[in-house]
Chains A and B, each alone.
Chain A
Amino acid sequence: NAGVTQTPKFQVLKTGQSMTLQCAQDMNHEYMSWYRQDPGMGLRLIHYSVGAGITDQGEVPNGYNVSRSTTEDFPLRLLSAAPSQTSVYFCASSAEGEQYFGPGTRLTVT
């Protein structure tokens, strides 16, 4: 049981490039979400999904797309990276009463 896994751990992009942050969970959780954390700040919700085929926006969705084709996977796409998207990204999946977080992806956009 690996829990929530995220790849890559580190990534450097140039402004305008695109990429996908991967997130997978093996706990059969219906609810998954993406957060970003800027230095010295708490986490902010980007997008979330309550099940395969269903996604919705969180607090800071602009510049990010998501899809949920399977229960296990919830990728986050940056279509045209901007320096303001430099952050640490955490994926989470949820069971009754608690959320399980992945180790994070540290993204730098230059």
Chain B
Amino acid sequence: DAKTTQPTSMDCAEGRAANLPCNHSTISGNEYVYWYRQIHSQGPQYIIHGLKNNETNEMASLIITEDRKSSTLILPHATLRDTAVYYCIVSRTTGANSKLTFGKGITLSVRP
């Protein structure tokens, strides 16, 4: 599975959009981009995943560049409860056999 590179940390104001970047320049054509988050040492929580097209769900949007070498997770209206470590993960498999390799992630701090 391709490796990912994320900034160590970032912050944003409550109510504003949080844009979390991820670089995965060695991604292969059949590899998916996953995003998970971990709030204060709880178990990680799935956010979203995608292959080529942009994806949106009730939590966030995932924007993948056309060359698939980078992506951005967008939290449209960040709240204090979104303060967490966010992990960008690339995996060759999806579904029941997906084995995830977690890096250190990016720490998002949402300020009042």
Residues of A within 8 A of B (CB): 4, 29-31, 33, 35, 40-45, 48, 50, 58-59, 88, 90, 92, 94-104
Contact = CB atoms under 8 A, between A and B. Distances in A.
Please classify how large the interface on chain B is, using the bins under 10, 10 to 19, 20 to 34, 35 or more.
20 to 34
Nearest to A29: B96
B96 A101 contact: no
B100 to A, nearest CB: 7
A28 to B, nearest CB: 11
The 10 closest A-B pairs by CB, nearest first: A101-B43, A42-B102, A98-B46, A43-B102, A31-B96, A96-B95, A101-B44, A42-B103, A94-B96, A90-B43
B98 A102 contact: no
A88 B44 contact: no
A90 B102 contact: no
Contacts of B41: 88, 104
